[in-house]
Amino acid sequence: MPELPEVETILRGISPAFTNQKIVDVIIRAQRLRWPIPKNLKQKLLDQVVTNISRRGRYLLLETRAGTVIIHLGMSGKLQVLPKDHLLTKHEHLNIVFENSRALCYIDPRRFGAILWTEGNPLQYPLLANLGLEPFDPNFNGEYLLTQARNRKICIKQFIMNNSVVTGVGNIYANEALFRSKIYPFVPAKAISKKQFQTLAINIQKILKQAIENSGTTLRDYATSEGKSGAFQKLLQVYGRNGKPCQRCKTILQQQRIGQRSTVFCPRCQTPIV
């Protein structure tokens, strides 16, 4: 479900609703997620004030004086801001209820997401410690990608989807960024030129920025914290457009699988010749 723009949109929705608010209840509905929700989460969070909410890669971090709640939305996870007495929806696994009578509600049908707790530096938590650069980090550029790609024979699409290289680029935006950069998705990362990497880095930033401005891409599950759809699906140029004409050259777009993920590209614009 959520790539960086979707998580960022959710962050911008929940941050004003809950920052500096005190937690008055925590309801765990005994669902196993990717890992179990810590049983003592309520005990840890009760009466704590959320001092800051931030994002690292696709993880959201709710900080308190006692520790930090780490949230990942997996493929189908949603976070909604709802009145504390809202009607319970299916697959609602966790509610964090605040003094302002609103609740942060975690809903996740597939349960690939995670709710974790750490009392140390969350950025050093094992799942976060090895993340690569944020795409909007000033050091994220063509040169960085070129260095990272040295001797890597993995194809370029999987390379930019690797969170230890750059965080937050998932299947949709990888497809889109490669199309806009005119790069054939199957090229080995080490075969990409410096100039191509510079173009790619810029396009990754552009597309993520544009997607954030449009509140993300809604295909199925994804909704903002207010329950609204994103709008970026209207601006997708290749993802979900297999068999349709390329918007640049009218050639029919093709779909193949790379690492079990659908990959759509224009066989004419995205030439295999490097």
Partner DNA sequence: AAAAGGACCTGGTGGC
Partner DNA sequence: TGCCACCAGGTCCTTT
Tell me how far apart the alpha carbons of residues 199 and 177 are, in angstroms, rounded to a whole number. Answer: 9
- Least Å distance between CB 34 and DNA? 6
CB of 218 or CB of 225, closer to DNA: 218
Q: Which stretch binds DNA (CB under 7 A): 22-30, 67-75, 133-141, 196-204?
A: 67-75
CA gap 64, 68 in Å, rounded = 6
Q: Which of 17, 123, 127, 202 binds DNA (CB under 7 A)?
A: 127
Cα separation values, 225 from 96, 111, 171, 203, Å: 14, 18, 22, 27
The piece of 39-47, 62-70, 192-200, 217-225 that touches DNA (CB under 7 A) is: 217-225
Shortest distance in whole angstroms from residue 116 CB to DNA: 11
Q: Any contact of residue 152 with DNA (CB under 7 A)?
A: yes
Q: Which two tokens stand for residue 12?
A: 């911008």
Residue pair 207/180 in contact (Cβ under 8 Å)? The answer is: yes
Count of CB atoms situated within 10 Å of the CB of 249: 10
∠ Cα 208 139 75 (to 5°):
35
In angstroms, what is the minimal distance from the CB of 241 to DNA? Answer: 12
Catalytic residue numbers? 2-3
- Residues contributing to the site for DNA (CB under 7 A): 1-3, 6, 32, 34, 57-58, 72, 74-76, 90-91, 109-112, 127, 151-154, 158, 163, 170-172, 189, 216-222, 259-262
